[in-house]
Amino acid sequence: MPTPVLAASAPAAAASAPLWTLDGLRAADPVLAIALLMLVAVVVAEVLHRAWRLPRICGHMLTGALASPLMLRLVDRFDLDPWKPLIDLAIGAMLFELGTRIRPRWLIDNPWLALSCVLQSLLCGLLVALFLAWLGAPWSAAAVAGTVALSTSPVIVLAVTHEARSRGQVTERLLLMVAINAVIAVVGLKVLRIVLATDAPGDELVTALVSALRVLAGSFLLGLAFGFALDRLSPLVRGTPAMPVLQIALVITASMLAVQWTLSPLLALLVAGMTARARMSHGLAVEPHLGSAGAVLNVLLFICLGLLLTLDGFWTIWPWVLVIILMRLIASGIAIGGLARLSGLGWRQAAGLALALQPMSSLAVLLAADSFGWAPQLPGVHGPTLQALLVATTLMQLTGPIWTQLSLRHLARETNPA
């Protein structure tokens, strides 16, 4: 359970202030503060949804942003760290669910699609890195930024597809590509650590290489084990309300073990979901967010993503931010559009898919971390590059759901009007 630290960090003078004042809220019990934030988030999301048909998660993130140091300073970013296990659980549940939606056989049946997936990721990373380097970023920092930027946010994409109830070719490809580029980002960051370690003495390079292989193989095996475990345990609770409980319990365990053994929870949970689907087929019923408990955590997750948003230094680094955002869009457009016809996609759908992939993700960096801070996860990375990456992520996290919804509704026309 998270340790309440919000109150401890609040100024003593504010402790006696009434709850309805800003100072009072800042000094409030952390559980109460988060509960109030959730209440506000639900109302704001609903108002925005009814007024402008904005995805509800925009309202959740916006509420988080309002409470963040960016605006009202109700909650400090560091105060969130104790909540991280719960947030990780929400992300884990969605990654597991995403894994159950993936059918790897599709990549064999449609090799042009497989090529398109890999090309989209690599081209995104490459173009972002090249143009950041052209703007003056050190090569190593540009490479790290490119690797982080190549992934799309799985949680945003999944949340939008759930809410829009979209079904169709673009939706299926979107989910597949999101899973693949998330894995490529995780693997890419591990590989980069090796490459960056080549300046170090030989022993450290070997250690880094072994460590990367251990992470990949270990995460895969862990996911495989939990997929098998779910298959074995499910018959005991099939048809009872305990099924989502079992799934959540296994997701927590897998996620915690992955973190404890310094593996990749992202990879482990995706593999667990895919294994469970392959093993159990029709016996596996996965509710969106793994049920109502997962839905609550989801709101919390998007509030926290909102709290982490930052626009610090935007006016000095905006060209860098623009390069990241534009290059991601261009690279997606080239990779998907170039192979659209060969892989069986229409031009309009290709445009829709490229746009739907724009929400950015911080998961590749943060999911394996102990805290919400980026800097400790990317040591030695050039400051302005890191900040540009953070600001680009902020913009494409906050507006990402709108692009994805717009694409699925108007370009792909895969949302159900009923």
Partner 1 sequence: MALQDFTTSQPLTLGVELELQLVSTHDYDLAPQAEDLLRVLKNHTGDWDVKPEITRSMIEIGTSIQRQHSTLVAELRDLRDQLARGARKLNIGIAGGGTHAYQHWSQQQIFPGERFHYISELYGYLAKQFTVFGQHVHVGCEDGDKALWLLHALSRYVPHFIALSASSPYVQGVDTGFDSARLNSVFAFPLSGRAPFTLGWDEFGKYFDKMTSTGVVQSMKDFYWDIRPKPEFGTIELRVCDTPLTVEKAAALACYLQCICRWLRETKPFEPAEDDYLVYTFNRFQACRFGLDGEIVDPKTKERHRLRDDILRTLARVDEHALDLQALDASNLIRESLFEGNDAGWLRGYHERGLPLSAAVEAAARRWMALD
The distance of closest approach from Cβ of residue 49 to partner 1 in the complex, given in angstroms and rounded to an integer, is 21
Identify residue 81 by its one-letter amino acid code. D
Site string for partner 1, 336-365 (x = CB under 8 A): -------xxxx--x----------------
Site string for partner 1, 172-211 (x = CB under 8 A): x---------------------------------------
By C-alpha distance, which of 117, 112, 108, 146 is closest to 129? 146
The distance of closest approach from Cβ of residue 233 to partner 1 in the complex, given in angstroms and rounded to an integer, is 19
Give the DSSP letter of residue 12: G
The distance of closest approach from Cβ of residue 173 to partner 1 in the complex, given in angstroms and rounded to an integer, is 8
Site string for partner 1, 57-96 (x = CB under 8 A): ----------------------------------------
Q: Token pair of 11, please?
A: 């100024």
Identify residue 363 by its one-letter amino acid code. L
Q: Contact between 235 and partner 1 (CB under 8 A)?
A: no
Q: Token pair of 400, please?
A: 């990402």
| Rounded CA separation 59/64 (Å) | 9
The distance of closest approach from Cβ of residue 418 to partner 1 in the complex, given in angstroms and rounded to an integer, is 5
Query: For partner 1, which is the closer residue by CB, 18 or 239?
Result: 239
Query: For partner 1, which is the closer residue by CB, 98 or 263?
Result: 98
Q: Contact between 53 and partner 1 (CB under 8 A)?
A: no
Query: For partner 1, which is the closer residue by CB, 11 or 344?
Result: 344
Q: Contact between 231 and partner 1 (CB under 8 A)?
A: no
Greatest Cα-to-Cα distance within the chain, rounded to the nearest angstrom: 67
Q: Using the rule CB under 8 A, which residue among 53, 73, 103, 410 binds partner 1? A: 103
Q: Contact between 240 and partner 1 (CB under 8 A)?
A: no
Q: How far is CA 52 from CA 48, 55, 107, 166, 406, in A?
A: 6, 9, 37, 19, 12
Q: Contact between 282 and partner 1 (CB under 8 A)?
A: yes
Q: Token pair of 111, please?
A: 């090799």
Q: Which residues contact 30 (CB under 8 A, 6 or more apart)?
A: 2, 4, 5, 6, 7, 79, 82
CB 168 within 8 A of CB 190: no
| Rounded CA separation 273/93 (Å) | 10
| Rounded CA separation 220/157 (Å) | 23
Query: For partner 1, which is the closer residue by CB, 73 or 167?
Result: 167
Q: Which stretch binds partner 1 (CB under 8 A): 58-66, 163-171, 253-261, 388-396?
A: 163-171
Site string for partner 1, 309-338 (x = CB under 8 A): ------------------------------
The DSSP code sequence of 344-366 is T--HHHHHHHHHHT--B--HHHH
Q: Which stretches of the chain bind partner 1, using CB under 8 A?
A: 101, 103, 106, 109-110, 113, 167-169, 172, 281-283, 343-346, 349, 414, 416-418
